[in-house]
Amino acid sequence: MNFEELLKGKKGWLRGDGPGSEIVFSSRVRLARNLADHLFPSRATPSEKKEVMEEIVSAINSIPHFRNCTILKIEELSEIDRQLLVERYLISRELSNKKAGSAVIIDSKEVVTAMINEEDHIRMQALMPGLRLEKCWEMINEIDDQLERLLGFAFSPQIGYLTACPTNVGTAIRVSAMLHLPGLILSKQIDQVLQAVAKLHLAVRGLYGEGTEASGNLFQISNQITLGKSESEIIATLEKVVLQVIETERNARKVLLKTNADFLYDRVGRAYGILSNAHIITSREAIDLLSTLRMGIDLGIVHELDRQAINELFILTQPAHLQRINGRELDAVSRDIERGNLLRSRLVKSKQ
């Protein structure tokens, strides 16, 4: 795999375009599938896991979508590279801790990935920038059709696709959107909105940290129920809710800009100032300030930067990315210094 290419980060959801992308960072649809004639990963021996992996890899290699894909065996990756894939949302933390028999397959556009032998035999996801749940589902649905013909998945007519955890049984689909909600946080409406969303049996999680303490003002909304509802129903419900949240966030930003413009300009200006001048900066501080700066771009307060640049910085300032860029292991203190260096060089360059 070409990690250097990954580090340039011009692909996948980082592009920051698509419908509603001033609020929706990314949309994701994930399907869990298991081969009918093998034990689930938690009960399989290492040799059975390898067998499963080979079967899946050869099936995937015959699918047009995966032409020029990258296949990475987890056990062959360094600690930092595994962490890097987690920071990119290309694999889960759970997969990054697996040993022999686990792998990830990444398509050439960095949109579709398939994790092999995570909790289930296959966890495939499509991840795109902006609100594009339908499009994600179309892609993953088609790939699922093709794989199913080659592999034969565990399925029951009563309870649907069989998964290692009963919480995924049925459609085995997880649909989620990552939302940037600084307006709702500043206007203190976030709790209300999140509670309303939770009442609809949807899960809300802060991306970095928990609950309303979420740093970076990033929240993921996803479905919890997978049985007794069709995929389209689940997607439509989530999309409807997300559209409402977007509307509320847009309004909150509008009101803030109208009634509290000085306050907003000040916050954005300070964030920009610290990010482009700090020499030592923690991950947490960087995320919070990048969030504020991104809002400044979305509101037209800052003109010389674009969303993609900020999206990249969200990722490039994470620990594994920093270490990969510097080509060596860094302790926490050195990371804070290198983070400062990276931010300064990137943001000052864009000012010129």
- Site residues, another protein (CB under 8 A): 34, 36, 38-40, 42-43, 119, 141, 144-145, 148-149, 152-167, 169-171, 173, 210-211, 225-231, 233
CB nearer another protein, residue 231 or residue 298: 231
Nearest CA to 221 out of 245, 252, 191, 192 is that of: 245
7 vs 322: CA distance, rounded Å: 10
Work out how close the CB of 235 gets to another protein at its nearest, in angstroms, rounded to a whole number.
11
Q: Which residue has the tokens 């960095």?
A: 110
Work out how close the CB of 307 gets to another protein at its nearest, in angstroms, rounded to a whole number.
31
CB nearer another protein, residue 160 or residue 216: 160
Work out how close the CB of 304 gets to another protein at its nearest, in angstroms, rounded to a whole number.
40
CB nearer another protein, residue 97 or residue 167: 167
Work out how close the CB of 343 gets to another protein at its nearest, in angstroms, rounded to a whole number.
31
128 vs 14: CA distance, rounded Å: 8
CB nearer another protein, residue 161 or residue 314: 161
Q: Which residue has the tokens 């049984």?
A: 169
CB nearer another protein, residue 235 or residue 309: 235
222 vs 203: CA distance, rounded Å: 5
8 A C-beta contact, residue 295 and residue 25? no
- Residue 43: how many other CB atoms lie within 10 Å: 9
CB nearer another protein, residue 165 or residue 348: 165
Tokens matching residue 44: 């399989």
Work out how close the CB of 320 gets to another protein at its nearest, in angstroms, rounded to a whole number.
25
Residue type, 298: D
Work out how close the CB of 138 gets to another protein at its nearest, in angstroms, rounded to a whole number.
13
Q: How far is CA 173 from the centre of its chain?
A: 16
Work out how close the CB of 29 gets to another protein at its nearest, in angstroms, rounded to a whole number.
12
8 A C-beta contact, residue 284 and residue 215? yes
221 vs 200: CA distance, rounded Å: 11
8 A C-beta contact, residue 289 and residue 267? no
Please enumerate in sequence order all residues whose Cβ is within 8 A of that of 154, keeping only pairs 6 or more positions apart, or say none.
33, 34, 35, 36, 161, 162
CB nearer another protein, residue 33 or residue 253: 33
Work out how close the CB of 141 gets to another protein at its nearest, in angstroms, rounded to a whole number.
7
CB nearer another protein, residue 4 or residue 213: 213
CB nearer another protein, residue 145 or residue 247: 145
Burial class (CB in 10 A: 0-12, 13-18, 19+), 328: exposed
CB nearer another protein, residue 54 or residue 233: 233
Work out how close the CB of 131 gets to another protein at its nearest, in angstroms, rounded to a whole number.
22
244 vs 346: CA distance, rounded Å: 35
Work out how close the CB of 105 gets to another protein at its nearest, in angstroms, rounded to a whole number.
21
Helices (H), the chain: 3-8, 46-61, 79-87, 93-96, 133-151, 182-186, 190-199, 231-259, 261-277, 283-298, 307-316, 319-326, 332-351
